[in-house]
Structures are given as C-alpha cells and as structure tokens.
C-alpha cells in the first residue's frame, strides 16, 4: 500500500516572491465600451487617461460627453501672491485645453451632452476665446441631447462677437431635448430658430436685446413642456414690443424677476399649463385675450414684491388661474390688491372650494 506524499512546504524564497500582476482586461475592451466608461467622467479626467499607455492615448477622443468647466476664483482660505498672474495663467491653460479637446475629438456630432461653464469675471486677460468657432455641431447630424451653457462675469458684454453670443447653429439642433442657457445674450440678429425636440428650456440671467428675440426662441420650441425664465434683463428701455408665444404642450411655467419694463407685456398662450410659479413677475397673459381660465391648471404660486404687475393685471391673472386646485398668494400680493380685493374675491372662493373637494 502506497503512502501519500507529504505536502511540500514552500521555501522562504518562494514565500517572499511577488504574486503575478493582475491582468489588465479593461484595456482589451473595444473603444466604444471604453468611451462609454469615460462618458461618466469630467472631460479633464477623461483626457488625463491618455498618459496611461499607448492603448489609452486616443480613447478619450471618442467620448460623447463634453464637460468643460472653468472657474477662476480662489477659495476663501487661500492667500495667494500674484493672484492676477495666476488667474491669467489658468485662463490661458483652459483656453488651450478646450482648443485641444475640440480639435482632437473624433466626431463632435456624436456628442450627446455638452456642459460648458465659464466664469469670465476677474480674468484680467485681453485674449478673446474663440471656442464657438470650433464647435462643429451640425444641426441635421448632431446627436446632442443636453446642452448646458453658463457664462458668468461682465467682460466683453457689449461686444456682438463675444462669447455670450452663441452661434446660430446652436439654435437649430434637431435632437436637442434639454437646453439651459445662463448668462448668454439673445441678439436681435439671430436668424431662424428651430428646436423641434426641446422639451425643457431654462433661460437664466440672460441679456435680452428685444422681446422679438425671446419670442423667437420660445416659439422655436414647438413641443416645449417646461419653461423657466429667471433673473433676465431687457437691455432696450425704449422698445414697446410684446413677447408673444403659443406653446400648446407647455405644462410648467416659472418666471422669476420682472425682466421687462412697465410698457412691455408677456403673452404666453399655454392651454395645457398645469403648474405656474411667478416671483416678481411682469404683466402676464396666459391666453391671447387674457380672460379665459386655464382648464388644466393644478397649482399656482404668486410671489410679488414692491413693484411689478399692476392691480388690473393681477386681477386679470387671478381670473385666468381661478381653476387651480392649489393656489398660494404671498402677503405682498394681497397688499398690492387691497383696494380691489372684491374684484378677485370670487376666484379665491372658487379655489377654496376646489381644495375642499
């Protein structure tokens, strides 16, 4: 009968020898899968993977998410010598980085999400960026679905060729679904605007050259469901035109800040409106004649400051939102209409009966 051999005990040298390195399986994945992985990263981190190996050198050029963010401010706890010099260097480095990304990307029309935040304040550099000249988004071929452009600071605000003036191709992207524009300038010289797939539009602290340019933007989104206009300003005090738009699919409307002057009026015909929020709002009509109650309205909230809509305009607006199931009025709104309280008391009773039901 054969006896089993005793297990071999590893020698000291064998115990100290390193274990084999783990196999790099990620690098053998197809470019499409690697590009999808990099999609989850900010662009600067995706580009940084190019130094890993030859395999990764050009993988980032196929990503379909461009996330470009520049903020030139220091933290509160930072005490920096030669701050202005450092700001200028950061700005130039960012410009070169953006130029590299846009020039080396394989196909900008394959990009689905475009995030561009640029803080121009305290740049202190006279070099004008020409980012938009390299944005090769084709209106017909671009797959862009989400665009988020935010520009801060006052530099070059009055220059018609500044960064604030977006190229016209941005306003004709057929696959775009969500559009956020912050700090841009809506120029009167903008040509045709047609965004057939945009369902959500956010316009924040923009410079509006004319009511016609804003009307053109809103009306150019025929399937728009959510519209938010916040802290924008009209730059032409002498203009008397009216913002006029028909939005049959609009369900949620938010207007914060009286963006126009007292001789301007906003007319948004939105028969499907369900939610309304107004804060420091201007003269507003929610139908062409300004008298028809909204049949689909569920909730409305009105916050008014010391100036803004007139008593007559507010009374007309309350009549239009009398079908709301939930109605919230700020105390200031009630104070403004204290001389005409009886004129809109009936709509409030009607709303109260809806709440009880």
Asked if residue 333 lies in contact with residue 313, where contact means CB atoms within 8 angstroms, the answer is: no
Per DSSP, what are the bridge partners of residue 226?
Answer: 200, 252
Output the tens digit of pLDDT for each of the chain's 357 residues.
555 555 555 555 554 445 455 666 777 777 778 777 777 777 777 777 777 777 777 777 778 888 888 876 655 545 566 767 777 788 888 888 888 888 887 888 888 999 988 876 655 555 556 677 667 688 889 999 999 999 876 554 545 446 788 888 899 999 999 999 998 888 767 778 999 999 999 999 888 877 888 889 999 999 999 999 998 887 666 556 678 899 999 999 999 987 665 556 788 999 999 999 998 877 788 887 767 788 999 999 988 765 556 677 777 888 888 888 888 887 777 666 554 443 444 444 344 434 444
Buried b (16+ CB within 10 A) or exposed e, 83-121: eeeebbeebeebbeebeebbeebeebbebbbbbbbbbbe
List of residues 6+ apart from 124 with CB closer than 8 A: 84, 87, 88, 91
Whose tokens are 């409305």? That residue is: 300
Asked if residue 297 lies in contact with residue 276, where contact means CB atoms within 8 angstroms, the answer is: yes
């Amino acid at each position: 009968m054969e006896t089993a051999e005793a297990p071999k005990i590893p020698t000291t040298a064998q115990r100290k020898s390193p274990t084999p390195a783990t196999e790099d399986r990620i690098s053998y994945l197809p470019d499409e899968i690697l590009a999808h992985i990099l999609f989850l990263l900010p662009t600067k981190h995706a580009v940084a993977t190019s130094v890993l190996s030859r395999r990764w050198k050009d993988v980032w050029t196929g990503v379909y998410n461009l996330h470009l963010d520049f903020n030139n401010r220091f933290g509160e706890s930072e005490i920096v010598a030669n701050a202005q010099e450092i700001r200028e260097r950061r700005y130039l480095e960012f410009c070169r980085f953006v130029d590299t990304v846009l020039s080396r990307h394989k196909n900008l029309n394959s990009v689905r999400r475009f995030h561009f935040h640029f803080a121009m304040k305290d740049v202190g550099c006279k070099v004008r960026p020409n980012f938009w000249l390299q944005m090769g988004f084709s209106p017909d071929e671009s797959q862009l679905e989400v665009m988020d452009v935010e520009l801060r600071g006052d530099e070059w605000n009055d220059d018609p060729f500044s960064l604030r003036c977006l190229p016209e191709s941005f306003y004709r992207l057929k696959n775009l679904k969500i559009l956020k524009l912050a700090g841009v300038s809506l120029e009167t010289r903008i040509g045709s605007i047609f965004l057939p797939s945009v369902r959500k539009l956010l316009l924040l602290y923009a410079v509006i050259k004319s009511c016609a340019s804003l009307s053109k933007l809103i009306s150019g989104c025929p399937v728009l469901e959510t519209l938010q206009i916040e802290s924008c300003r009209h730059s032409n005090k002498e203009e008397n035109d009216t913002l006029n738009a028909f939005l049959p699919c609009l369900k949620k409307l938010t207007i914060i800040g009286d963006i126009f002057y007292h001789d301007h009026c906003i007319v948004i015909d939105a028969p499907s409106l369900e939610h309304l929020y107004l804060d420091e709002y201007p003269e507003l009509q929610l139908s062409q004649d300004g008298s028809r109650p909204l049949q689909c309205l569920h909730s409305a909230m009105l916050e008014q400051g010391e100036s803004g809509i007139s008593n007559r305009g507010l009374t007309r607006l309350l009549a239009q939102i009398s079908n709301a199931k939930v109605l919230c009025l700020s105390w200031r709104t009630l104070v403004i209409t204290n001389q005409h309280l009886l004129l809109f008391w009936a709509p409030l009773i009607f709303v109260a009966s809806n709440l009880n039901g």
